[in-house]
Structure 1
Amino acid sequence: MNPFALLQNIAQRCRSHAADLPSPSEAVEYWRGVGFILAGKRYVAPMSDIGEILTSPKLTPVPGVKHWVQGVANVRGRLVPIMDLASFFGGRATSLRTQRTLIIEKGELLNGLVVDAVLGMQHFPVDSRQAVSSSGIPEKTLPFISGVYQRDGEQWPVFSFDALAKDEHYMDIAV
């Protein structure tokens, strides 16, 4: 048998024993967000809302403001007001060591929001988003929740920074 015929024979045997390619399945579209803990409860916020995640920046206190306004920080040459989100909702931070500041920029509003911890990127199938129910979500945060995802028996309320920015109580920081 010549070398060419041998190669053809090998190729034919390979094709006869080869498994079919799997059929293309439907691609699942995922929603991406950043998970965080606030007053001991898990939340997730859209990736598009969070510009940066920082460890506690150096703060300059601001007199005459509510207790949940921690001060102002210089973040890359921009003055950013830093707010303690747990204190705003009447709670307390659980651990200073794990606290992070989420830099949020919504239109002209630029804020740093202190949360208890950041849980990294979270992915959920887009079609698995559920309507908001009061079950398991603290009442004070309920107006700021735009939906809920479930994963492994855990509830992940979607925190709306748009709703927070429109809240009169949040925008009224003077004492």
Structure 2
Amino acid sequence: MRSPFDILEAYERRSLSHAVQLPGRQFAEDIWRGVGFRVGQRRLVSDFREVVEIVPMPPVTPVPCAQPWLLGVGNLRGNLFPVVDLKYFLEGTRTVQQEGQRVLIMRQAGGDVA
């Protein structure tokens, strides 16, 4: 008598013998890939190699005596990162906080992000 495991293993072998392989997805090194985003009226892009993650706006802890465009410090799985109002930094007007807003977490030379 065959065990349930033997029956499942045989079923998997039969299924895989009929499977069609999908074509491999390879990205050419010379093709640029990035993410687009908007800051005020400006449309900007960043290379994927510079982007760590895009996350919902985290709770932000203000930093005393910081520049006005620095909203504070956010925490992503135990890693602290500065939260910058890029619109205020570039254009001098604050970003209006809205539901569903996202934060683009970037790599920066000299900084570590896990």
TM range (shorter): 0.5 to 0.7
Q: 2:103 corresponds to which residue?
A: 101
Larger radius of gyration: 1
Deviation at 1:77, TM superposition (A): 0.7
- Give the Cα–Cα distance (whole angstroms) in 1 for the partners of residues 104 and 38 of structure 2: 12
Q: How many residues align?
A: 84
TM-align CA RMSD: 2.2
Q: 1:39 corresponds to which residue?
A: 40
Q: 1:61 corresponds to which residue?
A: 62
- Give the Cα–Cα distance (whole angstroms) in 2 for the partners of residues 55 and 49 of structure 1: 18
TM-score (norm 2): 0.63
Evaluate the alpha carbon distance shift between residue 94 and residue 73 of structure 1 in structure 2; reply closer, same or farther with a 3 A threshold.
Answer: closer
Evaluate the alpha carbon distance shift between residue 88 and residue 53 of structure 1 in structure 2; reply closer, same or farther with a 3 A threshold.
Answer: same
Give structure 1 regions of 4+ aligned residues with deviation exceeding 6 angstroms.
none
Partner deviation per Cα, 1:78-117 (whole Å, 9 max, x = no partner): 1111111101111332562353211112232358xxxxxx
Identity %: 39
TM-score (norm 1): 0.43
Deviation at 1:42, TM superposition (A): 1.3
Secondary structure at 1:87 match in 2: helix
